[in-house]
Copies of this chain bind each other. A is one copy, B any other.
Amino acid sequence: MDHPQGISDTIPNPSVRRLSAYLRHLENLAACGATRVSSKQLAEYIKGGDAQVRRDLALFGQFGRRGVGYEVQDLIQVIRTILGTRVQWNVVVVGAGQLCQALLRYRGFQDRGFTLVGAFDTDPRKIGTQCGPVTIRHIDAMAEVIRKNEVRLAILTVPVQAVQHTAEKLVAAGIEGIMNFASASLDVPPHVHVNQVDLTAHLEQLSYQVSNPQTP
C-alpha cells in the first residue's frame, strides 16, 4: 500500500536502527535546552552523512524547515511514534543473574518507554530478593504477571542451555518480542521477534577493527 505523500510504510532496517541513535542525540540536546537541530548535527552524532539523515527522516514525512532545521521536541515525538515508544511498554526479565540486576537498576529504560515489571528465575536462593524496583519471583508466576500487565516484550538473561526452553515459556505466555543475551539462536513462531545481543561479538568487532587498521 502506498501513502498519499511520498511516505513509505516500509522503513529500511538500517534506518530504523539509526532512528534510535537520532533519538539518543535528541534527548541529549533537549536536556541541554536546545530547540533546533540540523541534519548535519545529527549526522555527526552517528558519524554518517547529512544526506543520510535527511533521507531517514523524510521516510515518514516532512517536518524539517528549509533553511532552518528540525524542531528537537517535534522530532522526538515523531521518532517515538515510529518506534512505538510514546506508549509505555511493560517488560519482564528472565534469569536473575548479575546482568538482570544491572538492567533492573538502570534508570534509562523508564524514561524511554520501557518499564521493567517483573524478574524471574528458578533458583530458590534468588527468589524473594529485592532488586531495584522489583522482587525476583519464581518462573511459574511469570505467565500470570505477563497476562495481568499486558507484557509483550521480554529480556532473556538465562544461561545458554536454558534459553530455548525459557523462550518457549515466554511465547506460550504471549510474549511477542525477545531481547536475548545468550549465544543461541531461538526457534520461535514467526510472529515473535528476537533481538540478539552478543557482547562478545562487540568485542570481536573491535578486535577485528584494531587488528586491521586500514578499515575505515
Contacts and interface: CB of A to CB of B under 8 A. Distances in A.
Contacts of A83: 204, 207-208, 211
Contacts of A21: 196, 198, 201
A185 B47 contact: yes
A77 to B, nearest CB: 14
A210 interface: yes
Given A153-B206, A195-B205, A28 B160 contact: yes
Contacts of A179: 199, 202-203, 206
Interface stretch (A68-76, A103-111, A135-143): A103-111
Contact of A23 (B23, B44, B152, B204): B204
Contact of A20 (B28, B105, B205, B212): B205
B45 A201 contact: no
Q: Which of A19, A99, A196, A206 has most chain B Cβ within 10 Å?
A: A206
A97 interface: yes
Nearest to A200: B112
A25 interface: yes
Contacts of A205: 16-17, 20, 195
A210 B176 contact: yes
A175 B99 CA distance: 25
A14 B84 CA distance: 27
10 contacts: A17-B201, A21-B198, A83-B208, A83-B211, A84-B212, A89-B203, A99-B106, A108-B199, A114-B207, A195-B202
